[in-house]
Amino acid sequence: MERSGPPTDPATDGLPATPREWTLLGSTRVGPFVVRARYRRPDGSLVEWTSRGHRKGHALRVEGHALRVEDVPGVPGGRRTVPLRTWWISGLFSVGSLCFALGSFPPYLDAVSELVDGITFFIGSLGFTAASALCFLEAASAPESVRTASDVSARRLRVRPRSIDWWSTLIQLVGTVWFNVMTLQALLVDEGPARIDRLVWRPDLLGSGCFLVASQLAWLEARSGADPVRRDTTWWIVVLNLTGSIAFGVSAIGAFTLPSTDDVVSFRLDNGGTFVGAICFLVAAVLLVPEARRRRST
């Protein structure tokens, strides 16, 4: 038997269902969102649940003499394979990041035409959108029970407005769509600074703003859901994504076209911010694979 607590119970609101014999000891929230919870099981062991780990099918951490992760019955050492979904998310984000890094790299800019450079950015934006769509589907299909966190068949799409990861992945997806608009318009628009700012720069700014908000939510989720002293793979992923989003924001500021001169505010800020942000996103994307190799719980 499992329970999740009544919707009006502030102690369990926003948490997945747990076995009836588990006792909730406390939870950590970011505003209205639950990001971490601790339970005591009948055998006296203490387990730690996190929202990020739950949607990704990661392990429940067990507190004992030392923090450890439970093994999966029948699996030597409890090692888990990386889900196919994670490989796709990592690969698509990597493609998008590489395209944005390449498109803003000065030697590449000198070697190709503006059209080829623009196409490079557009392809990269499609990679970002595809990866973000998978992230949103992952958050929207997070299981309703801790017992089925790693069971793909138990997942179904739901609207989850009380989940911080649902909002962060949705906002990130919206941001990538703005990047699609921005990179496509950059290929088509060439009619004065006012038109460029309206059709190219504004989508760039909106997309960068969405990325910044989404990365901030993901950082708050991970920071509040873990030991602040521990700098694990998840911590590095969210910090790199937040840094990359800040760099993209700097790039958007530098890309504004001045009506008086028809020049952008700063090519260095524009290209430099894009390149630094893309490299941060690339490293974070690659780290998704080792993060997924964590052991699972029973």
User: Which helix or strand (DSSP H or E) is residue 40 part of?
Assistant: strand 33-40
Per-residue pLDDT, 165 = 93
Contact present, 127 and 96 (Cβ < 8 Å) = yes
User: What pLDDT, in 10s, does the model give residues 162-177?
Assistant: 899 999 999 999 999 9
Taking 70 as the pLDDT cut, the residues of the chain under it are 1-13, 59, 64-80, 147-155, 190-199, 225-231, 260-262, 294-298
| 214 shares a domain with 118 | yes
pLDDT, residue 151, reads: 58
Do 88 and 60 share a structural domain?
no
Encoded tokens for 256: 């504004």
What's the distance, Cα to Cα, between the start and end of the chain in Å? 16
Instruction: Show which of 78, 95, 114 is a domain's final residue.
Output: 78
Nearest-Å Rg of the Cα atoms of the chain is: 21
- Residue 11: domain span: 2-78
> What residues are paired with 24 via a beta bridge?
39
Element (H, E) at 248: helix 233-254
Strand 68-69 versus strand 61-63 pairing type: antiparallel
Which of residues 45, 78, 111 is at a domain's end? 78
In angstroms, the CA 137 to CA 156 distance is 9
Whether 186 is in a domain gets the answer yes
Domain count across the chain: 2
Q: Provide the pLDDT for residue 77.
A: 41
Sign of torsion, CA 158 10 34 227?
negative
In one letter, which amino acid is 78? Answer: G
- Do 185 and 238 lie in one domain? The reply is yes
pTM of the complete model: 0.83
Question: Same structural domain for residues 127 and 19?
Answer: no
Q: Are 140 and 159 in contact (CB under 8 A)?
A: yes
Dist. CA 210–CA 132, nearest whole Å: 12
Give the span between the Cα atoms of 290 and 286, in whole angstroms.
8
